[in-house]
Structure 1
């Protein structure tokens, strides 16, 4: 199991002990879809403390030291490693055309693209498809469940948390890597993702009266796009953008 799955299990354990939410006045209040708001807010506070002390400075250092073209190559390689997971979920959802596109992307990027360092498939007109087990569970009729703020991993919900853990077992590339290799991949993936979101999260925090509520809204809109509930523009949906920003 990838190291990122461990905090997810902790979050599920913590959520069992919480049944009330808190409003702006500190009193218990109910928020539709977020019955665990009180504990979620506490976890977000802890996440922000870790982010301010460690994650954001590391992401800034990564941006400063590693040139943009190299970061793009690393990002492409990480995306390529995840393609077998996307393929498996495309098949489980019955999206066979998308599965064919994903297979071609993995083939071209792994060969012509030198192990995925270059995204030649996109240049060939083969756009990247989405596919994760949370999405698969949605396609099978599983409801979202309660909104969750996971330690370090950030926003999710009960269905997608189960899916995130399952995805750690679905990707066959993860089986081939030693435990240390999976940890290293998760760390690099996390640093790269945080680097992409430096400006987005900074703007979201500085421009929100209630950062928790705004982050929840932005994440839910992004996730709705991945699930096909709204149209997406084909951009990388793991990068947070505020649809309500002026």
Structure 2
């Protein structure tokens, strides 16, 4: 789950850089009214990342053999299937929810608590869902962009959703000492897999804050849009006046 989310965020960022470049003008994005505060938090997170997270992640990659690192990543991805599954059911995506349940059952048993990913080769795909997307699915507005200390990009809606997802995570219910170890190991494992992404970001972005913000917001919006019915093209030679309801032109006529 974490791997797919980060990979797609990076791809979205690269696409934004290639098509539009990095916005450096004085105009403030209306989705980011808290930009001064967010920039300060972003700088704080960047200092923590440079001086603590990255060195620890590099050490982890040097010391821990690749097969073990893969097993650790698989283990946490399997735990992450639980809130994904619950959010799919909450959005009435029953097929995806049942797929998540099958994936969780297969990897937790034959995959030795998820250390081995048996489900993917078996044709059971992983999904991305969280409670922020569930709220968006039911029409809750995202609210302003918000950079969270240590956790990074979010919005008011997604920050609230993140808190709810923690209650759905099995790690939350572990004994406190074990829970803290699991949280720390998950963070280091995730950060270690994307050290190269940091180098790419450094090279591509004139303003890292804008680069990350715009890519993250675009990615979240695409997740909300991807399962919505797409408007059919209007093949009627009569034009927009005869367009059927549900097409783009028909929607446009109603908006007017």
* Both structures adopt the same fold (TM-score exceeding 0.5): yes
Kindly indicate whether structure 1 or structure 2 has the higher relative contact order, using CA contacts under 8 Å at least 6 residues apart: 2
Q: Where do residues 188-207 of structure 1 align in structure 2 (5 Å cutoff)?
A: 188-207=185-204
Matches for 1:119-130 after TM superposition, within 5 Å: 119-130=117-128
Comparing 33-42 and 83-92, the one that deviates more:
83-92
What whole-Å deviation, never above 9, does each CA across 1:185-223 have from its counterpart, x for those lacking one? 221111112112211122112321111101112222332
TM-score using structure 2 length? 0.75
Distance 1:175 1:216 in 2: 29
Mapped pair 1:222 → 2:219? yes
Residue 212 (structure 1) aligned to one of 204, 209, 212: 209
CA distance in 1: counterparts of 2:172 and 2:38, whole angstroms: 32
Shift in Å, 1:82: 1.6
Q: Determine which structure has more spread, i.e. the larger CA radius of gyration.
A: 2
Partner of 1:141: 139
Give 2:3's aligned residue. none
Separation of aligned partners in 1, 2:196 and 2:216: 16
2:46 is equivalent to residue 43 of structure 1: no
Specify which of 46, 61, 65 is matched with residue 63 of structure 1.
61
Corresponding residue pairs, total: 206
Superposition pairs of residues 94-243 of structure 1, within 5 angstroms: 94-171=92-169, 173-174=170-171, 176-229=173-226
For residues 114 and 178 of structure 2, the distance between their equivalents in structure 1, rounded to whole angstroms, comes to 17
Q: Which runs of 5+ in 2 are unaligned?
A: 1-22, 229-256
**Which range moved further: 119-128 or 176-185?**
176-185
Structure 2 CA distance, aligned partners of 1:221 and 1:69?
34
SS in 2 for 1:227: helix
Q: Deviation of residue 182 (structure 1)?
A: 2.2
Moved more, 84-93 or 114-123: 84-93
CA shift in 2, pair 1:44/1:176, >3 Å: closer
Tell me if the contact between 1:224 and 1:230 (Cα under 8 Å) persists in the aligned partners.
Answer: no
1:95-152 CA-partner distances (Å, limit 9, x unpaired): 1000110010011001110110011000100001122111111111111111111111
Give structure 1 stretches of 5+ with no counterpart. Answer: 1-22, 232-246
Matched, 1:90 2:88: yes
Q: Secondary structure at the match of 1:48?
A: helix
Higher helix share: 2
Alignment root-mean-square deviation, CA: 2.0
